[in-house]
A and B are shown apart, each in its own frame.
Chain A
Amino acid sequence: MKIAYPIFRTEDLCAYYGDFMAIKHVTVQIPQHQVTAVMGPSGCGKTTFIRCLNRLHELTPGARITGKVYLRDEDILEMDPIVVRRRVGMVFQRPNPFPTMTIYENVLAGYKLLGIRLKREEADRIVEDALRKAALWEEVKDVLHRRGTFLSGGQQQRLCIARALAVNPEVLLMDEPTSALDPKATLQIENLIVELKNTVTIVIVTHNMPQAGRISDYTAFFYLGELIEFGPTAEVFTNPKDPRTEEYLTGKFS
C-alpha cells in the first residue's frame, strides 16, 4: 500500500534472534501524523518490529536486522543509533521512570543523561510543556521534586510519555503502553494518544482490539513474523482482505 507522506518506510525488513527469524520480509510505509496500530497474536513479532524502528532490537545479544528502514529518506541502519533514538522516542509496556530521579529530572532525562546543560527557565519550560502534552501537569505541578516512582502506575506511564516527548521526537513508538494499567488510566492514555498525533507520529503495539479501533488510523496485522495486512483501521476491521486477519479479529485465535 502506498502512503502519501510516509515517515517510516521498510523494505524487506527481517529481524533475527540468533537463527530465529522473528520478522519476515516486511515492506511497509507508516504515515506521518497518524496513529498506526500494530496488532497480532502473542509472539507474532509486533514488539520486535517497533524495536527495529529505533534500533533497540540490535541490543539483544545475537539479534540482527537485514533489509532497509528509512526514516523520511535516511536509512536508519546507516545512521548513528543515538541520533535515530533522539528522533524516534519510545514508551514501554511497563512504566519505567528512573527511580533515582525526581519527576522534574525524569522529564529532563533526555537532556541530563546526555550532559546537555539547560538554563533554568528553559528547563522549566520544557518540563511544563512536556507534562502538559502528556496531560500530567495539573496532577504533578506541586510535587515536581518528588521521586517519579511515588506516582500511580498510570501517572508513571504519562511521566514516561512526557520524558519521551521532552526531546521533541518525530515519532513515538509505544509498546502496549496500557497493558499494565487499569481501565481509567488506559482511557486517559488513549485520549492522550489521539491528541498527540497532531505533533508526533505514533506507532502503537496493542493486544487490545477495541483500543486499536478507538485510537488508530492505520492498522498493521502481523502473524508469525509476517505482515499479513496493512491499511486504514476502518477498512481492516470491517473488511479484512486476509482470512487470518478476519479470524483474529473475530477471536478465533489470539
Chain B
Amino acid sequence: MNASYPARENWRRWKNQIVLTIITVLALLPAVPLFLILFQLFKEGLSSLSLDFFLHLPAPPGESGGGIANAIVGTIILVGLATLIGVPISVMAGIYLSEYGRAGRLSEVIRVCADVLQGVPSIVIGIVAYAWVVKPLGHFSALSGSVALALMMIPVVVRTTEEVLRLVPDILREASLALGVPYWRTVLKVVLPTGMVGVSTGILIAVARIAGETAPLLFTAFGNQFMTWNPLEPMNALPLVIFNYAMSPYEDWWRQAWGASLVLVLMVLGLNVVSRVLARKIAGEK
C-alpha cells in the first residue's frame, strides 16, 4: 500500500507545470493590448514630437510644421475648470453618503442616480451641455465643455469619496466625538483629512478619465486653431485635435494626430501612476 509511484508523481509535477504556464500566459494577455497601443503610438507619433510641437500653434491647412500648444493648454484649462466645478459637488455628496445618510432612502436614490449618470453615453452629455450652456450663451465655449466633463466626473468622484470615507475606522470618529467635538467638525477635521489621500486618488482617476473624452467636447468646446485662455471662447483640446486631424486630408496632420495621441496617453498614464503611488501611500499608512 505504501509503495510509491514515481512515474505517476512525475506526471503530476508535469501537469502542474503545464497548467501554471497556461494560466500565466492567459494572465498576461490583458496586458498585451496596452503594450501594442503604446508601441503603435510611439512608432507613429514619436517622430512628430519636438519642441515646436509643444510650443507652436497649428499651421494653416496644407502647410507643414506647427504644433499643438493651444490644445495642451486647452486640455489643462478644460479639465481644470471641470475639476473646479465637479469636485466640490461630488466630494460633498460623497461625504453625505458616507457620514450622514449611510442607510437612508435619499442615499439610495443618490447612489442609483450616480450609477445611472455614469452610464449615460458621453455624446448625450455633450448634447445636454450644448442645450444648457452653449445655446443660452449663443456660442461654443470652454466653459460648456467643462460642464460636460464635470458631469462625467461627478459620479466617479462621488462613489470613490463615499467608499474611501467609509474605510475611515469608526474608532476615530468615536475618539473625536468622545472629546466633545460636534459631528460636523468630526467629519471635516478627522474623517476627511484621514481619507484625503484616497479622495485625491479618486479625483485623479476621474481627471485621467475625462482628459481623453472627445464626444462631450465636440459641440461644446468645439475646438480652436488659435491660442485662447478665455473659458468663454471656443477652445482646443487634445482629443479634438486628434479627431479633427485624423479626419483631415493632410498627411502632415495625420502625423500630428499620432503625436497628439501619444501626448494624451502619456498624460493619462502619468496621472494613473501618480494616483497609484498615492494609493500605495494610503495602504502603507495603515
Find residues 151-187 in chain A having any chain B CB closer than 8 Å to their own CB.
Answer: 160, 163-164, 167
Could you tell me if A82 and B182 are in contact, using CB atoms closer than 8 angstroms? yes
With A99-B285, A113-B186 as contacts: A94 and B171 at CB distance below 8 Å: yes
Could you tell me if B174 and A110 are in contact, using CB atoms closer than 8 angstroms? no
Q: Beta-carbon contacts of A56-77 to B below 8 Å, as 1s and 0s?
A: 1001010000000000000000
Q: How many pairs of residues, A versus B, come closer than 8 Å at their CB atoms? A: 73
Could you tell me if A98 and B175 are in contact, using CB atoms closer than 8 angstroms? yes
With both chains docked as a complex, state the minimum distance between the C-beta of B193 and any C-beta of chain A, in angstroms: 4
Q: Does A86 contact B (CB under 8 A)?
A: yes
With both chains docked as a complex, state the minimum distance between the C-beta of A32 and any C-beta of chain B, in angstroms: 20
Q: Compute how far the CA of A96 lies from the CA of B254 in the bound complex, rounded to whole angstroms.
A: 59
Could you tell me if A113 and B171 are in contact, using CB atoms closer than 8 angstroms? no
Q: Does A90 contact B (CB under 8 A)?
A: yes
Could you tell me if A113 and B172 are in contact, using CB atoms closer than 8 angstroms? no
Partner of B171, one of A92, A109, A115: A92
Could you tell me if A114 and B177 are in contact, using CB atoms closer than 8 angstroms? no
With both chains docked as a complex, state the minimum distance between the C-beta of B173 and any C-beta of chain A, in angstroms: 8
For A111, the closest partner residue in chain B by CB is B179
Q: Does A85 contact B (CB under 8 A)?
A: yes
With both chains docked as a complex, state the minimum distance between the C-beta of B171 and any C-beta of chain A, in angstroms: 4
Q: Does A83 contact B (CB under 8 A)?
A: yes
Q: Beta-carbon contacts of A95-109 to B below 8 Å, as 1s and 0s?
A: 011111000000001
Q: Does A89 contact B (CB under 8 A)?
A: yes
Cβ–Cβ < 8 Å partners of B196 in chain A = 100
With both chains docked as a complex, state the minimum distance between the C-beta of A60 and any C-beta of chain B, in angstroms: 10
Q: Does A54 contact B (CB under 8 A)?
A: yes
For A113, the closest partner residue in chain B by CB is B181
Cβ–Cβ < 8 Å partners of B175 in chain A = 92, 96-98, 109, 160, 163
Q: Does B169 contact A (CB under 8 A)?
A: yes
With both chains docked as a complex, state the minimum distance between the C-beta of B98 and any C-beta of chain A, in angstroms: 14
With both chains docked as a complex, state the minimum distance between the C-beta of A179 and any C-beta of chain B, in angstroms: 13
Cβ–Cβ < 8 Å partners of B249 in chain A = none
Q: Does B176 contact A (CB under 8 A)?
A: yes
Cβ–Cβ < 8 Å partners of A114 in chain B = 179-181, 185
Q: Beta-carbon contacts of B4-27 to A below 8 Å, as 1s and 0s?
A: 000000000000000000000000
Could you tell me if B194 and A98 are in contact, using CB atoms closer than 8 angstroms? yes
Partner of A89, one of B174, B176, B178, B186: B178
Q: Does B43 contact A (CB under 8 A)?
A: no
With both chains docked as a complex, state the minimum distance between the C-beta of B164 and any C-beta of chain A, in angstroms: 14
Q: Beta-carbon contacts of B110-150 to A below 8 Å, as 1s and 0s?
A: 00000000000000000000000000000000000000000
Q: Does B51 contact A (CB under 8 A)?
A: no
Q: Compute how far the CA of A75 lies from the CA of B134 in the bound complex, rounded to whole angstroms.
A: 61
For B169, the closest partner residue in chain A by CB is A96
A-B contact pairs, 22 of them (CB 8 A): A56-B177, A59-B177, A85-B179, A85-B180, A86-B179, A89-B178, A92-B178, A94-B171, A98-B190, A100-B194, A100-B196, A109-B175, A110-B179, A113-B179, A113-B186, A113-B189, A113-B190, A114-B180, A149-B285, A160-B175, A163-B179, A164-B179
What 5 A-B pairs are tightest by C-beta distance, nearest first?
Answer: A86-B180, A85-B180, A90-B178, A96-B171, A110-B179
16 further A-B pairs in the complex, CB-CB below 8 A; given A100-B196, A113-B179, A114-B180: A54-B178, A82-B181, A83-B180, A84-B180, A90-B174, A92-B178, A96-B175, A98-B172, A100-B190, A109-B175, A109-B176, A110-B179, A110-B180, A112-B189, A113-B185, A113-B190
